[in-house]
Structure 1
Amino acid sequence: MEMTRLGDLRVPRIGLGCMGMSTAYGTRDDAASTTAIHRALDLGMTMLDTADVYGNGHGERLIGEAVRGRRDEAIIATKVGNLGRAAAPRKVDGRPEHITAGCDASLGRLGVEAIDLYYLHRVDPDVPIEETVGAMARLVEAGKVRHLGLSEAGPDTIRRAAATHPIAALQSEWSLWSRDVEGGIIQTCRDLGIGFVAYAPLGRGFLTGTIPDVDSLITEDRRRDHPRFAPDNIARNLPLIDVLRDVADRHMATPAQIAIAWVLSRGPDVVTIPGAKQPRWVVENVGAIDLGLSAEDLAALEAAFAPGAASGSRYPEKQMGALGI
């Protein structure tokens, strides 16, 4: 596995996104998810990414059980501050007391003494970022957290946070069809020596080429609420998959592997965490590490997936409004 650094934290360039094991994408299968986590560790995909809000703590408990006896192999990343879609009246909470209590709760569910990478999941517009990160910094001082990160933050917030305490990583969506971070956000990270963790590199599964229409998703799948998966939009987005397939065929690879390889091509400071809750998908995803995309490949992908090429926004309107970018 190719390695890089998020600040002072050495990590694999492909980790494992664990959100779908607990929420959003259909039914849970803890046995398969646990096997997928073990397979990821075996293959060097040792960064496991979750959050306290995933399955109302289920994601952290699942990882805690899965890494028991293998804790030294795993880099555990979790998040605090996002209260979930059903929360009211607050959707996010960056108050110091919430950060402190949230960390203790996460440690208990994970069954570990320290969290390797602790993210602020969403920026709270009602709390100065200095106060939130200050509370997170005190967790580092107490030995409960080793490195700090932000998720879905804009350049000004990133700079203010980094002036309060070193920030190892920014995690935001980045894929062929979600390129909002290009320009100011990624450049700010590079100016400050902050690594970048790209979530949803497979476009929530669409870029695998296995979702021909919204009816192929079960009723409980939250992607049914996402604009890009609406019937009219998904029909307009499907031709993008043809370009991915063409590039994949040249490499005897899958569309998913090409999508991941494209994210990795953005720079050696970029890490990605494709989600997988089946061992076979873990194996498929890790195969992207050996793919070298040619100038011809990159040009074809750039022509098809220019910024704004996807039809529909990446989140529903209310969730888009909660992003701090």
Structure 2
Amino acid sequence: MTTNLKKSWDELTDLIDKSGSILLSTHFNPDGDGLGSEIGFYYHLKNIGKECRIINISHMPEIYDCIDPDGIIETYSTNHDEWLNKVDVTILFDIGDYKRINEIYPQIKESKIVLFDHHPLQKDNPYSVIVLDLGSPATGYMVWKYLQYISTDEFELDIISANALYAALITDTGSFRYSSTHADAHLMAAHLLESGVKPYEIHRAIYEQRKLSQVRLMSYVIQALQISDDGKLAWYIIDAEMIEKSGANLSDIDGFTEFVRTIQGVEVAFMIQEVSPQTHRINFRSSGNYIINDVAKEFGGGGHIYAAG
């Protein structure tokens, strides 16, 4: 499903115009797309005089400090509840499932909730406005298109918003190598560069600052790697002992399954990670010949057809 974007954008604009306070948020264990989208939207709202805050359920990984120089992203605690209970509008970016904001949801469920996403839509949802494009290469791309749509003069972005949306674009397109990358994604990149983005600086901050703990954990993953007899399926398990021995954390695992998928001949890769003795996280990646989000749904998850969990 893809909504009528112009209709959705108009509904969103009207809702924002009538709002007093606005919450922006994304899913737990946030990635570059969710973070970049909400940062880019935050500065738009501030520019039009709106009261807004970004409050996420999880801490932002350090690699994304480069797109939040003002330190606007907050991590939820119960101290936020009084403000959250008074919010008029909540905008969720790249969420997949609204339950992925965890403890924040009960605090904002009475607000008007807006979805900004490119993941499949749940049948039962609390959204007042849905901005959905399953063909979008990134939620950040959708934010960029919306800002372009409402721009009455020449479309310009401040450098912080441009950097944030560029990070959203490169992280969700695999630096423009995934099949979801289309021509307009490159036009977006060109516009962001014209706005002052320096690609190498963003790329280096996100992809070339690996901690030693992450490298140690990767060595354990390689040792634990299993390959099917036909070489098309690869998988690995990360348990609590591996995390403890390496000194790694949850954000250090990002990208491991995609790395395993790039092994010659592998069509599908998946990870099983021990979060607690009772809870495990599963992450799937496909080369494009096999749809894997239906498998994720069997375990209560979801996502894109070739990237899910």
**Would you call these one fold, judging by a TM-score over 0.5?**
no
More strand by share: 2
Which of 1 and 2 has higher RCO (CA within 8 Å, sep 6+)? 1
